[in-house]
């Protein structure tokens, strides 16, 4: 089953009065259900633009984007929310800082659903939220009534991940979601990420600059350069890669 398809997707911007810059160069990409794809590339390769056009924060200049055969090319970010969840690099994004952990999770449970005026029934969710946050293993369950803005970076990023997956999305976008964390916290969050992807059988695209994570996680890898996908490795090809292979490859393209 095809979850996401990009057909001849291009993004151009004005780079001066008479010059246009190509951010995405007519990309064709097909993602199947349960694929966990790591996305690699240097600065300016087009990774963030790829995510922005998929999520709807940046419109394509030409081409199409389909989610489960539904053409979403003209849909806004809000109208794509029922299909797509995203965790950003910055722990401050993706959560409401003045709302408590429990309130953030309750808000995430309603993502993509019609809103009605009714009691929020937060107390009824306390036990389930406690069990959910306890699985993270970083003490987040002890902060259900703590504003998200008072959490550590690792706890806040874990909360962002839980919010993104509390409702099973058609596609999960992980936008360098461990990059701002120290190595120990990053490793913990990646373990949690892999666990939730496996348990919920999620389809996922993950941008990372950590070569170890690129090798360890995922069953497919794509490499971008200058707005193009220059390598697309399946599970068998990816399994044969070594760290020297990746480092050598980046030396060649940078």
Report the SS3 class of residue 24: strand
Report the SS3 class of residue 109: helix
Average pLDDT over residues 81-106: 92
DSSP class of residue 147 equals B
Q: State pLDDT tens for residues 10-69.
A: 999 887 777 888 999 999 999 999 999 999 998 889 999 999 999 999 999 999 999 999
Q: State pLDDT tens for residues 76-91.
A: 998 998 899 999 999 8
Query: Where do the domains of the chain lie, and which CATH numbers do they carry?
Result: 2-112+121-253 (3.40.50.300)
Half-sphere exposure of 100 (CA within 13 A, CB side): 15
pTM of the model: 0.91
SS (H, E, C) 24-60: EEEEEEEEECCCEEEEECCCCCCHHHHHHHHHCCCCC
């Amino acid at each position: 089953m095809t979850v996401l398809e990009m057909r001849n997707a291009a993004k151009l911007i004005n780079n001066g009065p008479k010059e246009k810059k190509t951010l995405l160069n007519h990309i064709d990409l097909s993602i199947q259900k349960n694929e966990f794809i790591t996305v690699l590339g240097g600065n300016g390769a087009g990774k963030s633009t790829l995510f922005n056009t998929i999520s709807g924060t940046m419109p394509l200049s030409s081409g199409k984007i389909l989610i489960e055969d539904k053409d979403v090319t003209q849909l806004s970010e809000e109208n794509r929310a029922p299909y797509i969840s995203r965790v950003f690099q910055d722990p401050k994004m993706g959560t409401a800082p003045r709302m408590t952990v429990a309130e953030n999770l309750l808000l995430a449970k309603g993502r993509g659903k019609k809103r009605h005026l009714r009691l929020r029934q937060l107390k009824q969710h306390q036990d389930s939220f406690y069990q959910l946050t306890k699985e993270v293993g970083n003490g987040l369950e002890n902060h259900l009534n703590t504003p998200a803005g008072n959490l550590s970076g690792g706890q806040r990023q874990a909360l962002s991940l839980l919010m993104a997956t509390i409702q099973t999305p058609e596609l999960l976008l992980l936008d360098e979601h461990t990059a701002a964390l120290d190595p120990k916290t990053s490793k913990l969050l990646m373990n949690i990420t892999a666990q939730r992807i496996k348990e919920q059988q999620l389809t996922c695209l993950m941008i990372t600059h950590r070569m170890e994570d690129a090798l360890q996680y995922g069953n497919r890898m794509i490499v971008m350069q200058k707005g193009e996908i220059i390598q697309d490795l399946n599970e068998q090809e990816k399994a044969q890669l070594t760290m020297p292979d990746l480092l050598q490859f980046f030396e060649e393209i940078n």
